[in-house]
Amino acid sequence: MPGFMEYVGGLCSSFSFHGPADLALATKLKFLKNKIRSCVAFERRHRDAVYNKKKEAVEKLEKEAELRDLRPTELQHREECKSFMLEYDRVKMLDYRQKARVKWAVEGDENTGFFHGVINANTSNNRINGLMVNGEWVSNPTVIKDKAFTFFAEKFKEPMKDRPPFVCPNLSRLTNSEAELLIEPFSLAEIKEAVWSCDGEKAPGPDGFNFKFIKRCWEGLKDDFMAVFEEFF
């Protein structure tokens, strides 16, 4: 859509939110989704009207071509109309493909439903509904968790207070600078690298956006992503 990126950039600049960073990002994406949906619906109605006019013009010129030779201006107008119609059909097919991906992501398919059923059945079969403790059946979840934790804590308890040292000078080890990298704050460059390593054409998430949108609108979203990672750090 002509001017779409400028429109999204203006929306990102005008958005403000006071609260946790992750909630701010989720709210911003929801705000963008609603605004873009309205904009796209308006643009689609406009393009549909133009498409119908172009189609009528082409049909009229083709009928005229059966009776006489078309003038150069008429041929040029026909070519422009055909180009618009081809581009319109291409964009429409992209829209249908995206909607199909959204539908698949939300509703799944028969295989997804089958595997979810298997997983739920395994979860149900593996659930511990109760334990026999000192001859008494206990079903309280808190007591079950405490008994399970105590049981495995005893299994993994260190039996020896003083163990012989493990001497092996040839083992690879991190340098001090490499070790410091493990506890450094996230940088915008590595966040961007992680985003750019993701395939942009995958089915979108629950917010309705795929990574292609995030990459294209990175300038308006990078500060929000950085705030999320800083808060997490």
The 10s digit of each residue's pLDDT in 160-213 is 778 788 888 888 888 999 998 889 999 999 999 999 998 887 766 666 788 888
Give the count of beta carbons closer than 10 Å to the beta carbon of residue 139: 10
Sign of the CA dihedral with 137 first, then 139, 143, and 144 last: positive
**Domain ranges within the chain, ordered by starting residue:** 7-12+21-110+185-232, 130-155
* pLDDT bracket for residue 105 (50, 70, 90): low
**Contact 78/61 with Cβ under 8 angstroms?**
yes
Lowest-pLDDT choice from 90-94, 122-126, 217-221, 224-228 = 122-126
* Residue in the block written with tokens 């609108």: 217
Contact 184, 203 (CB under 8 A): no
Give the C-alpha separation, 24 to 176, whole Å: 36
Residue 64's pLDDT band (boundaries 50, 70, 90)?
Answer: confident
Supply the pLDDT for residue 109: 60
Query: If you average pLDDT over residues 114-135, what whole number do you get?
Result: 79
According to the model, what pLDDT value does residue 229 have?
Answer: 94
| Measured distance CA(41)–CA(44) in Å, rounded | 5
Task: Report the alpha-carbon distance of residue 231 to residue 186 in Å, rounded.
Answer: 10
Q: What value does the CA radius of gyration of the chain take, rounded to a whole number of Å?
A: 30
In degrees and rounded to multiples of 5, residue 67 shows phi and psi of -100, -30
Tell me the per-residue pLDDT of 139-161, one tens digit each, with 9 for 90 and over: 888 888 899 899 999 888 877 77
Return the sign of the alpha-carbon dihedral for residues 94, 96, 102, 107: negative
What tens digit of pLDDT does each residue of 8-47 get?
999 998 999 999 999 999 999 999 999 998 988 888 888 8
Evaluated on CA atoms 115, 117, 120, 122, the torsion sign reads negative
Quote the pLDDT of residue 108: 61
